[in-house]
Amino acid sequence: MNWIAHIFLSEYNIDFQIGNYLADPLKGKIWQEANESLKKGMNLHKTIDSYTDSHQLFKRSKQRIGKGVLRAVVIDLTYDYLLTKNWDKFCKIPMDAFFDEFNIRARNRLKDIPKNAQVPLERLIDYDILNRYKTLQDLEKAFLRVDKKLSQRLLKRDSNSRYFGTVSKNISNLEDDFLEFFPQLCFEIKKYINESKLTHWKI
């Protein structure tokens, strides 16, 4: 799963959400003075990724788009798009309000976290990245953004953007996979966090 899903799957607490997001840019290494909510968010990120990567529905989605080393990344990004498309099925809070509130609260926390954590979080806020997965055209741009971060060595083997045509042609089937998978992921996550703090969830 990608950033939107990780933030949604968190307890409705800004530090928990930030920790869940930062697990990727910080490679799962939290700073020593981080509070428990930040640590729990980062730990949950690992649980989400492990469950997702091993799930048969996620594997089926990868199979739908052919072969390549970046298929998992492509499906992660596509599932974020599909989450925004189906947002009202899963969240009580309208999507724009949810993202706006996250951005405001996260910006207020920037001064309290180390520089290496500030940089990716500030970029997420300043570029309003959470709001950039709403259409298939947005998804294509996301593939291109991720490609720019890849090494030339990897780009010679594969790229995210080369999958866009296949994803577009298979988007209905991928959406079926997602809608079957995501509630199962939510059910699994409830085992690891305080369910009373999932006040934004509909499921």
CA 118, CA 172: separation in Å to the nearest integer? 37
CA within 13 Å, CB half, 116 = 9
pLDDT in the model for residue 182? 98
40 contact partners, CB below 8 Å, separation of at least 6: 11, 16, 19, 193
pLDDT of 148 strictly over 90: yes
- At 1, the pLDDT band (50, 70, 90 cuts) reads confident
CA 48, CA 138: separation in Å to the nearest integer? 24
| pLDDT tens sequence across 85-125 | 999 999 999 999 999 999 999 999 999 999 999 999 999 99
**For the chain, which residues make up each domain, given as ranges?**
3-197
- Report the pLDDT averaged over residues 159-177: 98
Q: For the whole model, what pTM was predicted?
A: 0.96
CA within 13 Å, CB half, 186 = 19
**Per-residue DSSP letters for 63-74?**
HHT-S-TTHHHH
* 3-class state of residue 120 by DSSP: helix
